[in-house]
Amino acid sequence: MADHAHIVIGGGISGLASAHYSLHAGVDTLLLEASERPGGCIHSSHFEALNDFWVEAGGHTCFNSYGNLLGIMEQIDLLKLTTAKEKKSYKLWSKGKRSGILSALHIFELITALPGLFRVKKAGKTVAEYYGKVLGQKNYQALFSPAFRSVVCQDADDFPAEALFRKKPRRKDVLRAFTMPSGLADIPSAIATQPGFNVRYGAQVHRISAANQGEGIRVELQDGTHLSCERVTLAVPPDVARTLLSEAVPEAAKAIAGVGVAEIDTLVLVFERSKLKVEEIAGLISVDGAFLSAVSRDFLPDDRYRGFAFHFPGGQLSETEREQAACRAIDASVDDIVAKAQVHNRLPALRRDHMERIQALDSALASGQIAVTGNWFLGVSIEDCVTRSRSEHERLFGAVPTAPVAQ
């Protein structure tokens, strides 16, 4: 007998969604997470000494177009807690100065290029190829390439254009853009603590392989623990998935051998509101700065504190250099920092042939009992993660019942 019907490896939003779907389908499921918290890249940094002031260090916004995520939130009674975000504007950070986004726009070129939106196809093109044509090369280089780099926290020029943005239907009964009372980490926390949800933290998976006859799949942990299950879902970065698949489904491992990962160092800084003169902003799009992007907490103002998350390329600067670069961008002094946190994230580095790689992966997995999900399939948004998890659940276990829509 297997220990569990289903084991999910990885406790980011993709793994949490996978475990949620199987829990509500009545499947005995165990989620294994290597760290000590759920959520993965959804990480709200809290500062207890500052009256529990928080700043997002990973995912920053959810939208009413996130239909599958909203369905899960509805099932666990979270929708009533969605919190509106005040509208703030992004600024450009270029040549050591902040400026408005429109200052980098070439209007005439944009007007002449925009008709390309109706005749240029995204399929098979990179972000640079597609948006360079439909927005104009000058606009792309001066504004949109840095803006897209800010979205994915890495150079987006070689991303497949069809993976960057996907149009999704919106729910009019939900706030267009929202956060949660204590940050977006409220969502993974609520999923992981719902009744019947079985999760084990600090569980580093070392290997998966075929188990003895009648026991399905064997999961080996770094500490020597052995578990068996009927089905496994991998909700991990592509390089980790490749390693875990290498013995169990070598064809699947081979299919994703070229999917890269970008390392991101995020610096979260908090200041006394009275110490900062910089206007309230949504964040900064870095054109030539040391950081990739910055997002502020100004969308949910606090009477005493302001917070910022600066995303840097991983491993390139020291902590001191990151602090100095961040403070320069908001006219702050390093001495005025009242709290800070360092967060390391790993994001997929997708390339032109990515969709072909995923098709090959899906073909290799089609007849087996292993599913693979994550933020490197349809795109990198929270909804893209949940959508992939839902489709993989339905492949292994059957259709997910449609959640009732609030009126």
DSSP-assigned letters across all residues of 243-298: HHHHHH-HHHHHHTTT-EEEEEEEEEEEEEGGG--SPP-SEEEESSSSSSEEEEST
How large is the average pLDDT for residues 3-19? Answer: 97
Fold of 48-58+83-87+261-349: Polyamine Oxidase; Chain A, domain 2 (3.90.660)
What is the structure's pLDDT at 403?
A: 52
Report the residue count for the chain.
407
pLDDT at position 406 = 35
Reported as a single tens digit per residue, the pLDDT across 229-259 is: 999 999 999 999 999 999 999 999 999 998 9
Check whether domain 4-41+179-259+350-397 has CATH 3.30.1360.180, yes or no:
no
Nearest CA-CA partner of 288 in 148, 58, 90, 92: 92
Q: How far is CA 105 from CA 151, 155, 160, 297, in A?
A: 18, 20, 24, 26
Determine the Cα angle at 106 with ends 104 and 109, to 5°: 155
pLDDT digits (tens, 9 = 90+) for 31-43: 999 999 999 999 9
Query: Do β-strands 226-235 and 4-9 pair in parallel, antiparallel, or remain unpaired?
Result: parallel
Residues with Cβ within 8 Å of 101's Cβ and at least 6 positions away in sequence, in order, are 89, 90, 91, 92, 143, 147, 285
**Is the separation of the CB atoms in 236 and 249 below 8 Å?**
no
CA 106, CA 136: separation in Å to the nearest integer? 9
User: For the residues 94-122, what does the mean pLDDT come to?
Assistant: 91
Q: CA-to-CA distance for 359 and 123, rounded, in angstroms?
A: 14
- Domain ranges, ordered by start, for the chain: 4-41+179-259+350-397, 48-58+83-87+261-349, 101-164
pLDDT value of position 216: 87
404, pLDDT greater than 50: no
Per-residue confidence (pLDDT) for residue 405, from 0 to 100: 38
> For residue 20, is pLDDT > 90?
yes
